[in-house]
Amino acid sequence: MRLGLPAQIEAVRQLTGRVVGTKFVNAFRFEPLDVPAERDTFLIAQENGHIVVRGNSGPALASGLNCYLKEHAKAHFSWNASQPGNLERLPSLSAPVRRESWARWRYFLNYCCYSYSLAFWRWEEWEPLIDWMALQGVNLPLAITGQEAVWRAVGQRMGLSKSDLDGFLPGPAYLPFG
């Protein structure tokens, strides 16, 4: 299910609170950018003391936030650690910044990730990774969580017993190899 742009804007506001803290969340405004949806596009400007990020999608808005934080506030966000930079105050923009993504779809993850670590993650591990994906503009993450439940349901509809399926389907650490 794809969220409408107002819900995506709210999600990016919440993301902002997680990555820069509540102190600066209200210093940012997120607004729609009316451009064709062929490529995610964002525009960052400074207006009336706010950093205004306009985008034509949630990933575009999150990418715009990341662009501002990385290039202007010298922040860095990675999978394992974040350095929010010097956020005593938000740096000014000397000119608006506009970017269009180079690809329509930006994919992340692979099947092996779901065996080596992700199969055992809790929300405390997932949330920062999802935040990182949003900041990078990922709009097509691989999501196979629950795939084994689909396999089990299909097998049962085909007449396989629970014990047949238990012996055939892989456990979480071997999901990609099933």
Q: DSSP for the chain?
A: -PPPHHHHHHHHHHHHHHHH-HHHHTTEEEEE--S-TTS-EEEEEEETTEEEEEESSHHHHHHHHHHHHHHTS--EE-SS-EE----SSPPPPSS-EEEE-S-S--EE--TTHHHHTGGG--HHHHHHHHHHHHHHT--EE---TTHHHHHHHHHHHTT--HHHHHHHS--GGGGGG-
Same domain assignment for residues 34 and 86: yes
Q: What is the pLDDT of residue 86?
A: 61
Same domain assignment for residues 100 and 151: no
**Last-in-domain residue among 44, 77, 104:** 104
How many Cβ atoms are within 10 Å of 9's Cβ, its own excluded?
Answer: 18
Rg (Cα) of the chain, in Å, rounded?
Answer: 20
> 113 in a domain, yes or no?
no
Same domain assignment for residues 100 and 162: no
> 112 in a domain, yes or no?
no
Report residue 46's pLDDT band, with 50, 70 and 90 as the boundaries.
very high
Q: What is the pLDDT of residue 80?
A: 75
Same domain assignment for residues 78 and 165: no
144 or 106, higher pLDDT: 106
> 164 in a domain, yes or no?
yes
Tell me the pLDDT tens digit for each residue of 144-167: 878 889 999 999 999 999 999 999
Q: What is the pLDDT of residue 177?
A: 80
> 86 in a domain, yes or no?
yes
How many Cβ atoms are within 10 Å of 24's Cβ, its own excluded?
Answer: 18
> 81 in a domain, yes or no?
yes
Residue 63: exposed, middle, or buried by beta-carbon count in 10 A (0-12, 13-18, 19+)? buried
Same domain assignment for residues 16 and 92: yes
**Last-in-domain residue among 52, 78, 104:** 104
> 142 in a domain, yes or no?
no
> 87 in a domain, yes or no?
yes
Q: How much is the pTM?
A: 0.87
In this prediction, residues 15-32 reach a mean pLDDT of 91
Report the domain count for the chain. Answer: 2
Q: Domain range holding 157?
A: 147-177
Same domain assignment for residues 90 and 157: no
Same domain assignment for residues 75 and 160: no
**Last-in-domain residue among 46, 76, 104:** 104
Residue 57: exposed, middle, or buried by beta-carbon count in 10 A (0-12, 13-18, 19+)? buried
CATH number at residue 68: 3.30.379.10
> 16 in a domain, yes or no?
yes
